[in-house]
Amino acid sequence: MGRIAIYPGSFDPLTRGHLDIIQRASRLFDHVIVAVANNSTKRQVFSVSERLEIVEEAIRPFPNVDVDTISGLLVDYLKAKKARILIRGLRAVSDMDYEFQLASFNRRLSKDVETVFLMPDDQYTYLASSMVREVARLGAGTEQFVTPFVARKLRLKFAKRATQ
C-alpha cells in the first residue's frame, strides 16, 4: 500500500483550505485518508454522514484519497489503518502551539507516529470552518471559502434552521 497518511478533523464544513491540504498531501503520500471526527462533545452543523458526503464529493479528483470516520484515540486509528503519518494543517503561527502540543502528545502515546505539518496556500491562511459557519448562518455567501457543493449545503442547512 505504500506510505499511508491520515488527515483528521471535524471538517464542519470542509473548506478550500482543507482541500488545499488534501491536494498537497495526495502528492506527497501514496494513500491519504481524510478521517472525519465523530466527536459527540462538539456541536456540529453537519452530521457525520453529511460531512462524509461533503468530503467524498470534494476528493473525487484525487484517486489516492479516501474518507472514513474516526472516534476514539487517533493513534489507535493510525495503527488500525497501518499508518504512521499524521497530517496537520498550519494556517498561522497561532496554530503552532496547539499543534505542537498535539503532535508531542500523540508521539508519547505511540512512538511510531510522525506528524507532518502542511501549510495551505497563502489565500487560505485566515480560513477557519468556524468563520465559514458564522458567515453562512448570517446569510452571506460562502463560495469563496468552500466548494459550490458545500456552499449549497450550507445555504440549505441554515435556511432550514431559519424556518424551524
Per the omega criterion (within 30 degrees of 0), is the bond before 13 cis? yes
> Is residue 151 pLDDT above 80, yes or no?
yes
**Cα three-residue angle 99-153-59, rounded to 5 degrees:** 55
Predicted pLDDT of residue 27: 97
For the chain, the average pLDDT equals 92
CA distance 136 to 7: 25
Helices 48-58, 148-163: inter-axial angle, 10-degree rounding: 160
> Is residue 94 pLDDT above 60, yes or no?
yes
Confidence of residue 159 (pLDDT cuts 50, 70, 90): confident
Q: Which amino acid is at 68?
A: D
Delineate the domains of the chain, giving CATH numbers in brackets: 4-124 (3.40.50.620)
Residues 60-68 have a mean pLDDT of 97
CA distance 106 to 10: 18
Residues 6+ apart with CB under 8 A from 97: none
> Is residue 164 pLDDT above 60, yes or no?
no
CB atoms within 10 A of CB 35: 25
Residues 115-120 have a mean pLDDT of 95
Give the C-alpha distances (Å, rounded to integers) separating 127 from 28, 51, 89.
Answer: 23, 18, 11
Predicted pLDDT of residue 40: 67
Q: Which tops the pLDDT comparison, 125 or 34?
A: 34
> Is residue 1 pLDDT above 70, yes or no?
no
Percent of the chain with pLDDT over 90: 82
Residues 124-136 have a mean pLDDT of 93
Predicted pLDDT of residue 163: 61
Residues 62-84 have a mean pLDDT of 95
Q: Which residues are catalytic?
A: 18, 42, 91, 129
